[in-house]
Structure 1
Amino acid sequence: MTSAFHGRLGCSTITFRQLRLPQALATIVGLGFDEIDLGALPGVCDHVPYVLDAAAVAHVAATVNRSGLAIRSINGDVGDLNVALDHGQRAARTRHLDMLIALAAATGARALVLPCGALSHEPADSLRADLDRVAAELQAAAQRARAHGVELWTESLHFHRLCFDLERAQQLTDRLGDDVGIVMDFSHIVASGGDPVEFVGRFGTRISHVHIRDAVPGNINVSVGNGAVDFGRGLKALADAGYSGHFALELETRDIGDDERPAAAIRAGHVISELI
């Protein structure tokens, strides 16, 4: 069956985070998407259990694989990467990371995505020390993932996390090797007061994936078309920079009801498909 949308445009299960995973996947298939990002963010999207063991990995993988959807990435979290850990905490983080990597491998996901620090703009130590720690954690995770044929990406600018603006995203990226890809999210850039075109200008050759969501300054939870994001300008900048990767609608919107989400995803899918 031919996709209803551009072949490079998928849909994150975060868009339907209010549904259980099988229902979210069925909804995405019914709307005409061929590809997903899988949300695995505790408190944001619980489609993957935070307490993740081999049985849970097998169950989630089987559920995703039955859907027939391709999976581009798993959007996960293994804790605050800028916080120092004791021996027990380190062992727990490594176990969780290994299970997320196993899930990515079992579902054929290209990459695991990890955050750019804790859900706070304030460093746990000093900004320099925190950024060093986040970069080291991401590099170590990339090495573990690569051994299983999985890439490691990070959302280097996240409005609610340590690297919340262009300057901190730059400082983090300057610390990372080429084996850590960058995820661009239009909403986080605009919410922070930044310009997506400048983001592309800074990081274009490093961008591995793009999240589509609208925003206004200070608010990322806006439906596509209801915010201040100029998607046409931003997508043109990506194309001009030679970006050939994929996009995912990540419509964690709060300006519509849950019953309106399917229609909003269809509208957004058509708008973005025409612009890619």
Structure 2
Amino acid sequence: MQFAYEANAWGGVVGTPGAVTDLKSGFYETPGNVHRTLELIAEAGYTGIELFDGNLLPFESSIEEFVAAVAAQGLEVAGVYSGGHFVYPDAHEDELARFDRSIRLAASAGARHYVIGGGSIRSSGRRDEDFKVAGGFLDSLVERAQAAGLIASYHPHLGSLAQTPEQIDALFAATSIGLCADVAHIAAGGGDPEAVIRRYADRLAYVHLKDLDATSQAFMPLGEGDLDLTGIIDAVVAAGYDDWITVELDGYTGDQSAAAARSLRFLQAGKLA
């Protein structure tokens, strides 16, 4: 397996402000210097990077500059992350316009995986039909991503339509998209990451690894929290998965570069590298 690191460790996530009034302009992005982030990820020993689609916008007319910067650090683009609302049919046209742009950016940057998070929660709460509407929309994104040469997957996420195990099941019953198993988000949402991976072994398309402090719900470097990462990794291997594993550590208050290096050592000690 190959190991990548998520660029959001250095800066977190914000959104492009135009999305308040223009849905098709809304992208996730991590503030900061992407070139420095590439250096830090390479220095920590990783060979891949994942980043938000919004961080590719400055390179939209000169993507070769970004591709060259990635290659200069000995890295590959393992994945690009995007997200959306999905549950509002009247907004699908504008959402698709943004996703088409996002997919073009990801493909031109040389990404392998296209990760999709989100699914809005209405002010009145989730509705049963939201899972069906979102599932159909995700299927359309799978087709678009595949046509661009990308592997699409859905990332269950805290604060999104599919957070708990029951919600994940409801969404995955309505779509054919693959699973991006972010083990800490699954656990924080009340699930057993190993059980979810085994349940959807035939749909496991991508993996996000980070540890979790069960008491504070804070994300932690690998091996420094409460998750049974050995069991989780065993489930990933048993599923036949042999692709990029991306380590992520957004929101960590310690030294991010040191944490990235420690997480890689944890994986190497487990004989995955």
Same structural fold, with TM-score higher than 0.5 when normalized by the shorter chain: yes
Aligned to 2:6: 12
Check whether the contact 2:79–2:114 (CA below 8 A) recurs between aligned residues. Answer: yes
- The percentage of counterpart residues that share the same residue type is 23
What secondary structure, in the 3-state scheme, does the structure 2 residue paired with 1:194 have? coil
Aligned to 2:222: 224
Aligned to 1:43: none
Distance 1:131 1:169, change over 3 A: same
C-alpha RMSD of matched pairs (Å): 2.5
- Of 6, 10, 28, the residue aligned with 2:41 is 28
Check whether the contact 1:191–1:216 (CA below 8 A) recurs between aligned residues. Answer: no
Check whether the contact 1:73–1:111 (CA below 8 A) recurs between aligned residues. Answer: yes
Check whether the contact 2:3–2:246 (CA below 8 A) recurs between aligned residues. Answer: yes
Check whether the contact 2:157–2:186 (CA below 8 A) recurs between aligned residues. Answer: yes
- Of 44, 47, 72, the residue aligned with 2:78 is 72
Q: CA deviation at 1:242?
A: 2.2
Aligned to 1:145: 145
- Of 92, 104, 107, the residue aligned with 1:105 is 107
What secondary structure, in the 3-state scheme, does the structure 2 residue paired with 1:197 have? helix
Partner amino acid, structure 2, of 1:38: L
- Of 244, 247, 270, the residue aligned with 1:246 is 244
The reply on whether 1:160 has 2:165 as its aligned counterpart is no
5+ residue gaps, structure 1, are: 1-6, 41-45
Distance 1:216 1:165, change over 3 A: farther
The reply on whether 1:274 has 2:269 as its aligned counterpart is yes
In structure 2, how many angstroms separate the alpha carbons of the residues matched to 1:161 and 1:213? 19
- Equivalent residues in 2 for 1:149-228, closer than 5 Å: 149-155=149-155, 157-177=156-176, 180-217=177-214, 219-228=217-226
Q: CA deviation at 1:274?
A: 2.4
Partner amino acid, structure 2, of 1:96: R
In structure 2, how many angstroms separate the alpha carbons of the residues matched to 1:127 and 1:54? 37
What secondary structure, in the 3-state scheme, does the structure 2 residue paired with 1:252 have? coil
Distance 1:265 1:126, change over 3 A: closer
What secondary structure, in the 3-state scheme, does the structure 2 residue paired with 1:130 have? helix
TM-score (norm 1): 0.81
In structure 2, how many angstroms separate the alpha carbons of the residues matched to 1:216 and 1:254? 11
How many residues were matched structurally?
251
What secondary structure, in the 3-state scheme, does the structure 2 residue paired with 1:267 have? helix
5+ residue gaps, structure 2, are: 12-30
Q: CA deviation at 1:71?
A: 1.1
Which shifted more, 103-112 or 212-221? Answer: 212-221
Q: CA deviation at 1:199?
A: 0.8
